[in-house]
A and B are shown apart, each in its own frame.
Chain A
Amino acid sequence: MTKHDGYNLRLYVAGQTPKSIAAIANLKKICDQHLPGRYEIEIIDLMKDPALAVRHQIVAIPTLIRQLPEPLKRIIGDLSNTEKVLVGLDIRPT
């Protein structure tokens, strides 16, 4: 499923809040622009599975976790600051 240089991203949200919706949109936009075809996004709604919040150490919502490539990276917020997202995900502009 994942290519060796692919990005596996998980976005944790809590219901359909404006911040969650904004985060999802922002993330898709950034990935399409900088990682075309090299990413995979999994959106986890903690309202539906709160136990995952404990297991994955989620405090802030929304939280984006880069599962792959290693190491694990965390970004919190609605991802409106693209520059910081790119730095946070360690994506060099192509």
Chain B
Amino acid sequence: MANKARAKPADLPSIGKSATGIRGLDEVTHGGLPQGRPTLLCGSAGCGKTLFAMTFLYNGVVEHNEPGVFLAFEEQPEDLIKNVGSLNYDIEKLIAEKKLAIDHVEIERTKIAESGEYDLEGLFIRLGYAIDSIGAKRVVVDTIETLFSGLENEQLLRSELRRLFEWLKSKGVTAIITGERGEGTLTRYGLEEYVADCVILLDNRVHDQLSTRRLRIVKYRGSAHGTNEYPFIIDEQGITVMPITSSGLMHAASTERLPTGIPDLDQMLEGKGYFKGSSILVSGMAGSGKSTMAAHFADATCASGHRCIYFAMEESPSQIMRNMRSIGIDLQKWIDKKLLLFSARRPSLFGLETHLASMYRDVTDFDPAAVVIDPMSALTGAGASGDVHSMVLRLVDFLKSRNVTALFTNLGVSSENVTTEIQISSLMDVWLLLYNRESNGEHNRQLYLLKSRGMAHSNQVREFILSSEGIKLRDAYIGPEGVLTGSARIAQEAKDGAAILVREQDMERRSRELERKRREIAAQIEILQAQLASEVAEAELLNREGAGREDQLAADRVAMGVSRQAGARPDRPVPKPANKPKK
């Protein structure tokens, strides 16, 4: 690691490396095993030492044209050849081509008597002969500790082993010495004392009945190396060590977008979809449409010409494809075009680390733009929740470092269980919640974008339906009690329509009433005016009558005065009263 940071002068000596060809191991060791030196490979029974060693030899021949010798103390050559045949290693062919030699050393204490001093020169001669006859550059000694049970003189054996390792070094061969794990020590007979350049420990731990293989480089003289325990898997594709522990948060963020596969959902994400390289969590209850969401995404990814891996944890690929056909998504055609890869496995098949390792291998092999893990929550069955968290963390880091968009589905316990069981939501960039809410005796699907880092996303709860053309988001219908869905939405729509009608009718009625009142008042005005007119006429009549009477009275008074001769003269005018109404 330090070598990379600083430019190293070319003339400084450094140890050569011999690539093992084992995927991941060469990365962890920064190139392979120390060239021309022995490496101790230790581990308990059944953890893959022999397979590791044979792979080292096989790859040496096939990839680097370096012949190899396998000195076997435990297994017969025929058994060895058969055992690695499962990895498609054609050892017999290599032996015939003189690229590989297997020598089986048989030692049985009961058949050997000891008398006096001896040494193991015979072993040296055999090994030397095998190395020279094919020009071997690589040697495996598996497992030399068998000698301890075959021979009595342990002290002699120890000095001979020391000599053997020195001799191997002087031969310039890169060697793997295997050793059985002892109680509290790396090897039962302390081989690590002699082989001190590089020690690799293999481990096969069983937790909750699930075994996980791990590898650790205990020491590596003269070289930087990864120090963690790395999970590895052995299967028909050979050995894969997965060099991902949590990597740094150094991945570049992309501004590229990948469509979600649902145009309406794209619309909610600024009309463009997910960021490339982001992690998307789709959580919801059973039957809320998580897998459908995932299938849409896979379909859209392939449709845009990118590759996608679908990690199916609960359903078989054919079942998923059948189900998705019913909503109009044809995934088969993408498989045929080699754009889509289904990788189906039961979570309980093996431990978390192994799952992680196999996903790692699938992703590096297939190099997809997107992956779907459906459902991630199934993994909780394969480990403790803390382990699941760490696994998902590493998976997310790994995928992000490769700029792979990942969609995880997660089965929630309740419809609005905001804290996901394994606390992974904080690792996710986009979180889509799918509800399946019950109201009025029916379940309706709703979708909500709880978060979407780095973009202005919609905050609207939307109803969606699964139609024969896939997921369709309905326009949001917001009533007085929140978003209405299903028949409630239809009912509310009807109710609203009726209310409008009532209001219209009401208005009509009111305007009619007004008109009526106006007319009534107008009629009243007419009546009043008529009354007024008649009153005026009456008053005039009375006035006229009044005036006539006064004139008469005056005339009468004059006539009376004349008759009484009181000085009144008929030619003198009579004074008029002041309040006499004027005509």
Q: Which residues of A contact B (CB under 8 A)?
A: 12, 14, 17, 19, 22-23, 26, 46-47, 50-51, 53-54, 57-63, 73-82, 84-85, 87-88
Contacts and interface: CB of A to CB of B under 8 A. Distances in A.
Interface residues on B, range: 20 to 34
A14 B125 contact: yes
A94 B120 CA distance: 34
Given A57-B105, A87-B113, A76 B126 contact: no
A77 B126 contact: no
A78 B122 contact: no
19 contacts: A22-B116, A26-B116, A46-B122, A50-B128, A54-B129, A60-B118, A60-B119, A60-B121, A61-B118, A61-B120, A61-B122, A63-B118, A75-B115, A76-B112, A76-B118, A77-B116, A78-B116, A81-B115, A85-B115
Query: What 9 A-B pairs come out closest when comparing CB atoms?
Result: A88-B113, A80-B116, A77-B116, A50-B129, A58-B122, A78-B116, A61-B121, A84-B115, A81-B115
Interface of B, helix, strand, loop or mixed by DSSP: mixed
Contacts of B147: 59
Contacts of A22: 116
Nearest to B156: A60
Contacts of B126: 50, 53-54, 58-59
Given A53-B129, A54-B130, A14 B114 contact: no
Contacts of B122: 12, 14, 46, 53, 58-61, 63
Contacts of A87: 113
A59 B126 CA distance: 8
Nearest to B160: A60
Given A47-B125, A57-B105, A19 B130 contact: no
B117 interface: yes
Nearest to A61: B121
B123 interface: yes
B151 interface: yes
Contacts of A14: 121-122, 125
Interface in B521-559: none
- Between A26, A46, A47, A54, the greatest number of chain B beta carbons within 10 A of the residue's beta carbon is seen for A54
A29 to B, nearest CB: 13
- Between A47, A78, A87, the greatest number of chain B beta carbons within 10 A of the residue's beta carbon is seen for A78
Contacts of B118: 19, 60-63, 76-78
B246 to A, nearest CB: 48
B493 interface: no
B119 A79 contact: no
B158 to A, nearest CB: 15
